[in-house]
Structure 1
Amino acid sequence: MTLSQQQYTLEILDRAHMLNCHPISTPIDTSSKLSARDGTPFSDPSLYRSLAGALQYLTLTRPDIAYAVQQICLFMHTPMTSHFQLIKRVVCYLKGTSHYGLQFFRSLSHGLLAYSDADWASCPNKRKSTSGFCVFLGSNLVSWSSKRQPTVFRSSAEAEYITVANCIAESCWLR
């Protein structure tokens, strides 16, 4: 069984006026970090917020864009032109992957398997960490998260520890 939002993805491309854009292979450039003060203020903040919200909804069936959308949502209050470039990058990625979705397979295993990771002090403005996890039931992805942590951690070990704790809490809830 596949859960797909292909039609909704095409509507996002249309709303962004990017139906004819060239697809790219990744939703985000991980080598650069966006700052709240990058660039000049974006001319249409309501378009930014509308597209960010649409992309947030799309993450229900597209965990591959969860981190990029989390980064986009950090700047919804005062979007800059460089932040809108990230939206455009994600939309270009969606152009080539509009058929993607969540696939569920019959699985003999019913065990939970979870993975987590943290990027210590990755926010250039506030030095907060970004964390994420995904949980599989058998071979099927059933839960995932990507978010900026609410506090500043003293070390990468602390950031990883808190991320693992969040992942375990989600796994316990699923169990």
Structure 2
Amino acid sequence: MESVKSNITPRATTWRLSISESKQFDNPTLYRSIVGALQYATITRPDLAYSVNRVCQFMGNPLDQHWIVVKRILRYLQGTLSFGIHLKVVVSVSSLLITLTGLCDADWATDPDDRKSVSGACLFVGPNLVTWWSKKQQTVSRSSTEAEYISLALAA
């Protein structure tokens, strides 16, 4: 992977991963090993949370198209080795003023197999990112607005 061309995004937005659109990957143990390592990378790389979440859903039966996405994530990592979380010291006038900011979003009916939405959120204390997540919602939303409200409730 040292001599490969890097990507500027971890996943193409047009890809729809499914459980049945290509043939089975010939080395599922390799797939599970690499995806497991990518899960550890999300500890300090929130930009990977969504993409790694998507490929983790196919650990039981990985297909060739899932492996292509994993390789793209690895090429993205190869080109962004210096990325990470940067914490800033906050010097405020009053030590009692601490701002908590939460950002959330939902991708309505992302999964073509079960039509469930994917939610994600980032929480900041002052200017510093302290937690983030991306996960599939437990219910099927009937509209994008409903998916957004579920995401907001999960973030709250």
When the two structures are superposed, what TM-score results if normalisation uses the length of structure 1?
Answer: 0.83
Asked whether 1:99 is paired with 2:52, we answer no
Q: CA deviation at 1:156?
A: 1.6
- Among residues 63, 67, 70, which one is paired with 1:80 in the alignment? 63
Number of corresponding residues: 151
Instruction: For 1:54-65, list aligned pairs within 5 A.
Output: 54-65=37-48
| Structure 1 runs of 4+ with >6 Å offset | none
The whole-number CA distance in structure 2 between the counterparts of 1:32 and 1:57 is: 24
The whole-number CA distance in structure 1 between the counterparts of 2:133 and 2:110 is: 17
Instruction: For 1:20-99, list aligned pairs within 5 A.
Output: 20-99=3-82
Q: CA deviation at 1:115?
A: 0.6
SS of alignment partner, residue 25 of structure 2? coil
SS of alignment partner, residue 75 of structure 2? helix
The C-alpha deviation readout for 1:33-91, integer Å capped at 9, x for no partner, is 11111211001000000111100011000000110000110111000010000000000
- Among residues 90, 94, 115, which one is paired with 1:127 in the alignment? 115
Partner amino acid for 1:35? S
Partner amino acid for 1:85? I
The whole-number CA distance in structure 1 between the counterparts of 2:106 and 2:6 is: 28
Q: CA deviation at 1:19?
A: 2.1
Asked whether 1:146 is paired with 2:129, we answer no
SS of alignment partner, residue 70 of structure 1? helix
- Among residues 124, 147, 152, which one is paired with 1:159 in the alignment? 147
Q: Percent identity?
A: 46
Q: CA deviation at 1:32?
A: 1.8
Over aligned residues, Cα RMSD in angstroms? 1.0
Please identify which structure carries the higher helix content: 1
SS of alignment partner, residue 101 of structure 1? coil
The whole-number CA distance in structure 1 between the counterparts of 2:40 and 2:21 is: 26
